[in-house]
């Protein structure tokens, strides 16, 4: 494969918005699309598919952007593809953009996992890492305004031991197991490929970065800019507006502190009659003659976050997290952004009485994060580091880079109350100690205003990540992945487990995942695995445990069920078994079990967002917790099987 261009930017820049100095043109829509052959993945580079429209070099199909290509067609090979895929489309550059001498950029909200961006056959930039934005300056590559420009994006979803998340590819050639078929392609831990929204943007010849911290009533701000050659004698100003866009503060400086009189604080949902209150901070850069060079608005929430051995507090009040883990996932669109789905999901979160979610297991689209800010839904912002199985300096460096990109993207968001470094790392390995110490240190250097955490599934006596974390969340599936069917054990096991974590570290603890799969419409009494009754009773057992912990000496900071809605997965679940063939040799192999019935069914809503009975249990509990009333345990006895 040809040598790839370096990344032009170390982060994805400010979210594309129309302002007095910036203009945005959406490139979302239906693009042309083609897969590279799995037995010749570099064919597109060798034959230079980027040098002309894809349709001129072979067959193409239509593909929606944004979307996951895996979910769109009836082609099994496309659904299961691992390797390079190619997209292209045409765009026009408005004449005024070129005449005014502005910079023209392409911004991709996310491409999973790595990509190369071409304009008119010129390789502009390459980027590694899904879920975070990619920025490319294409000013020198675009054609005159009366000519169409070809935008080509090569995308690769292959994961390795050195990517975040990790993954592997295995080629199976053993005919004793695979019959007469050789070189069977087999992939493990591959995440779906997807592209988020793509925009064409013009911005002035200034790179702008706005950072702020908002203690109660005080706004500390910093405006960093890098001007192009020849752009000098610039000055900054800041204006703050309330929700009605009435001016409440002004400062002529690139760095400073603004005090807002009688501030309206940012509160989570159900903690205040006006949750999610946002001001607007407008940063302006002007030339020496007073002319406007650049201007950009950011929505600001005033809130003070603190944490320690006694828990997490917001604006001086203790927080109790009532939430869930989610996924960016829906029918047809897969992980593609859908504004109607965002509105629906936040409506359902509020119907449940939830005040938080975790971006399991990767950063979510910026539009989702915007809505969390506006609705007053708190977010535990998680990196894509899922199921890390090895720990070395190379991976730690990559992991730290991902965290810096994530912090730069989301640091200004009031909804983000914690950074989650990983989900279910194999943190019992000796190398995990220094690994998480290093990643934690680099993340705190990027932002020390939020506690660090991870969703841990190792046991308290072997885990080596927790010493580097500020608060501890654990994933626990008692009576599902362990002691399956023994619902009577849930309460005791959860209480014992969380108490041990707290006693060892004296840090706030919480449950970040618990749950059971439930096939919609499957009813069995007495409750049986996969039935809706089993899911309900497992939740009730966890509720009882949480109430016991809340009344104990343990600093129990919250509960988050898994999952908000059913979601698509690879077929089966990877497990490790000892395989014996013909009784004369044995080997340890990884296989995929048939433990996924049309995907993961642990949602309290279906993939199409219809409620399962468990959602009503959660709603009763969360609304009662929010109002300070008695837990609804006793009122829900009718859900339980007859003794």
Domain regions of the chain by residue span: 23-157+192-203, 206-303, 317-569+601-639, 570-600
- Report whether pLDDT(61) > 60: yes
User: 3-state class of 491 per DSSP?
Assistant: helix
333 falls in which pLDDT band (50, 70, 90)? confident
Confidence of residue 593 (pLDDT cuts 50, 70, 90): low
Model confidence band, residue 132 (pLDDT cutoffs 50, 70, 90):
very high
| pLDDT at residue 492 tops 60 | yes
Write down the pLDDT at residue 212: 75
Above pLDDT 90, what percent of the chain?
Answer: 72
Both structure tokens of 8: 């032009």
Instruction: Please check the confidence at residue 584 and state whether its pLDDT lies above 60.
Output: no
pLDDT confidence bin for 315, thresholds 50/70/90: very high
Please write the tens of the pLDDT for every residue from 42-55: 999 999 999 999 99
| pLDDT band (50, 70, 90) for residue 594 | low
Encode pLDDT of 347-385 as tens digits: 999 999 999 999 999 999 999 999 999 999 999 999 999
Q: What is the pLDDT of residue 1?
A: 62
H or E element that contains 364 = none
- Lowest mean pLDDT across 203-212, 310-319, 478-487: 203-212
User: pLDDT by residue (tens digit) across 255-310?
Assistant: 999 999 999 999 999 999 999 999 999 999 999 999 999 999 999 999 999 999 99
What is the CATH T-level fold of the domain 317-569+601-639, as seen in this structure?
TIM Barrel (3.20.20)
Asked if 47 is an active-site residue, the reply is: no
CA–CA separation, 196 and 28 (whole Å): 9
Q: What pLDDT does 188 receive?
A: 32
Model confidence at 4, in pLDDT bands (50, 70, 90)? confident
Please choose, from the candidates 324, 404, 205, 196, the residue with its C-alpha nearest in 3D space to the C-alpha of residue 621: 324
CB 363 within 8 A of CB 409: yes
Tokens of 2: 């040809």
- Model confidence band, residue 205 (pLDDT cutoffs 50, 70, 90): confident
Identify the burial level of 76 via C-beta atoms within 10 angstroms of its C-beta, where 0-12 means exposed, 13-18 middle and 19 or more buried.
Answer: exposed
Report pLDDT for 194.
61
Task: Give the closest residue to 390 by CA, choosing from 381, 401, 399.
Answer: 399
Asked if pLDDT for residue 587 goes beyond 50, the answer is no
Q: How confident is the model at residue 193 (pLDDT cuts 50, 70, 90)?
A: low
Is pLDDT above 80 for 179?
A: no
The class of domain 23-157+192-203 in CATH terms is mainly beta
Q: What is the DSSP letter of 111?
A: B
Residue 388 pLDDT exceeds 70: yes
Q: How far apart are CA 112 and CA 331, in angstroms?
A: 19
* CA–CA distances in Å: residue 564 to residues 116, 187, 396, 603, 625: 34, 27, 31, 5, 18
Give the Å distances, CA to CA, from 588 to 110, 170, 171, 585. Answer: 37, 15, 16, 11
pLDDT surpassing 80 at residue 563: yes
**Segment 602-619 mean pLDDT:** 98
More confident residue, 636 or 597: 597
> Which residues are paired to 473 by β-bridges?
455, 510
Compute the average pLDDT of residues 494-500. Answer: 98
User: pLDDT grade, residue 108 (50/70/90)?
Assistant: very high
Non-local CB neighbours of 30 within 8 Å, separated by 6+ positions: 62, 63, 64, 65
Among 17-26, 106-115, 210-219, the least confident range: 210-219
Q: How far apart are CA 305 and CA 314, in angstroms?
A: 5
Question: How would residue 211 be classed by pLDDT, with cut points 50, 70 and 90?
Answer: confident
Q: Which residues of 263-293 are buried (b: 16+ CB within 10 A; e: fewer)?
A: bbbbbbbbbbeebbbbbebbbbbbeeeeeeb
How far is residue 621 CA from its own chain's centroid? 26
Q: What per-residue confidence (pLDDT) applies to 181?
A: 32
Q: In a 10 Å sphere around its CB, with 0-12 CB exposed, 13-18 middle and 19+ buried, how is residue 544 labelled?
A: middle
Q: Which of 328, 405, 424, 532 is catalytic?
A: 424
Residue 638 pLDDT greater than 50, yes or no = no
What CA–CA distance (Å, rounded) separates 57 from 88? Answer: 12
**Whether the model pTM is above 0.85:** yes
244 close to 278: Cβ distance less than 8 angstroms: no
**Does the pLDDT of residue 535 top 50, yes or no?**
yes
Distance CA 253, CA 636 (A): 58
Q: Which residue has the higher pLDDT, 626 or 632?
A: 626
Q: What is the per-residue pLDDT for 171?
A: 64
Q: In CATH, what is the architecture of 206-303?
A: Sandwich (2.60)
Which residues, listed in sequence order, are joined to residue 314 by a DSSP beta bridge? 305, 317
- The number of residues making up the chain comes to 643
Tell me if 529 sits within 8 A of 601, measured CB to CB.
Answer: no
Least confident of 99-108, 147-156, 447-456, 464-473: 99-108
What beta strand segments (E) does 242-291 contain?
A: 247-251, 255-259, 279-286
The pLDDT of residue 227 is 80
Please report, in angstroms and rounded to a whole number, the separation of the first and last CA atoms in the chain.
66
Rounded Cα distance between 518 and 606, Å, is: 10
Averaged pLDDT score across all residues of the chain: 89
Is the per-residue pLDDT at 590 higher than 90? no
What pLDDT is attached to residue 202? Answer: 80
CB 593 within 8 A of CB 599: no
Asked if pLDDT for residue 139 goes beyond 80, the answer is yes
């Amino acid at each position: 494969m040809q040598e790839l261009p370096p990344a032009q930017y170390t982060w994805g820049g400010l979210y594309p918005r129309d302002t007095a100095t910036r203009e945005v043109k959406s490139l979302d829509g239906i693009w042309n699309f083609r897969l590279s052959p799995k037995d010749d993945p570099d064919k597109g580079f060798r034959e230079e598919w980027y040098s002309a429209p894809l349709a001129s070099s072979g067959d193409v199909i239509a593909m929606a952007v944004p979307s996951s290509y895996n979910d769109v067609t009836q082609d099994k090979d496309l659904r299961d593809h691992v390797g390079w895929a190619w997209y292209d489309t045409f765009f026009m550059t408005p004449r005024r953009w070129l005449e005014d001498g502005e910079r023209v950029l392409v911004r991709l909200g996310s491409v999973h996992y790595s990509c190369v961006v071409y304009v008119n056959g010129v390789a502009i930039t390459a980027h590694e890492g899904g879920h975070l934005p990619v920025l490319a300056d294409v000013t020198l590559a675009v054609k005159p305004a009366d000519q169409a420009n070809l935008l080509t994006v090569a995308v690769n979803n292959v994961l390795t031991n050195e990517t975040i998340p990790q993954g592997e590819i295995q080629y199976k050639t053993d005919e004793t197991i695979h019959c007469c078929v050789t070189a069977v392609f087999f992939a493990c831990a591959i995440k779906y490929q997807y592209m988020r929204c793509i925009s064409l943007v013009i911005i002035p010849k200034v790179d702008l970065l706005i950072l702020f911290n908002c203690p109660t009533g005080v706004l500390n701000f910093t405006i960093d800019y890098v001007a192009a050659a020849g752009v000098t004698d610039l000055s900054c100003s800041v204006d703050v507006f309330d929700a009605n866009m009435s001016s409440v503060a002004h400062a002529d400086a690139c760095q400073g502190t603004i005090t807002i009189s009688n501030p309206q604080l940012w509160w989570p949902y159900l903690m205040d009659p006006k949750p999610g209150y946002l001001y607007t901070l407008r940063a302006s850069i002007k030339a020496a003659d007073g002319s406007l060079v650049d201007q950009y608005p950011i929505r600001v929430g005033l809130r003070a976050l603190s944490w320690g051995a006694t828990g997490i507090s917001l604006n001086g009040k203790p927080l109790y997290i009532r939430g869930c883990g989610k996924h960016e996932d829906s029918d047809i669109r897969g992980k593609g952004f859908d504004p109607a789905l965002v509105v629906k999901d936040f409506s359902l979160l509020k119907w449940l009485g939830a005040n938080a979610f975790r971006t399991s297991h990767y950063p979510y689209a910026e539009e989702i994060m915007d809505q969390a800010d506006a609705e007053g839904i708190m977010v535990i912002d998680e990196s894509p580091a899922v199921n890390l199985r090895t720990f070395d300096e190379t991976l730690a460096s990559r992991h730290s880079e991902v965290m810096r990109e994530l912090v730069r993207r989301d640091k200004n968001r009031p909804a983000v109350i914690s950074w989650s470094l990983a989900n279910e790392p194999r943190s019992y390995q000796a190398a995990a100690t220094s690994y998480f110490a290093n990643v934690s240190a680099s993340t705190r250097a990027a932002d020390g205003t939020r506690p660090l955490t991870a969703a841990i599934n190792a046991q308290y006596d072997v885990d080596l990540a927790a010493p580097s974390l500020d608060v501890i969340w654990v994933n626990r599936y008692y009576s599902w992945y362990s002691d399956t069917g023994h619902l009577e054990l849930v309460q005791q096991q959860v209480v014992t487990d969380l108490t041990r974590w707290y006693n060892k570290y004296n840090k706030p603890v919480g449950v970040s995942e618990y749950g059971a799969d439930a096939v919609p419409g499957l009813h069995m009494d007495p409750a049986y695995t996969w039935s809706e009754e089993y899911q309900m009773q497992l939740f009730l057992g966890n509720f009882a445990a949480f109430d016991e912990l809340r009344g104990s000496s343990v600093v129990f900071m919250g509960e988050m069920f898994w999952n908000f809605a059913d979601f698509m997965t690879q077929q089966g679940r990877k497990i490790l078994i000892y395989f014996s063939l013909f009784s004369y040799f044995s080997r340890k192999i990884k296989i995929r079990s048939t433990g996924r019935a049309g995907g993961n069914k642990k949602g309290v809503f279906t993939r199409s967002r219809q409620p399962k009975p468990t959602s009503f249990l959660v709603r009763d509990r969360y609304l009662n917790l929010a109002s300070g009333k008695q837990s609804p345990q006793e009122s829900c006895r009718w859900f339980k099987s007859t003794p």
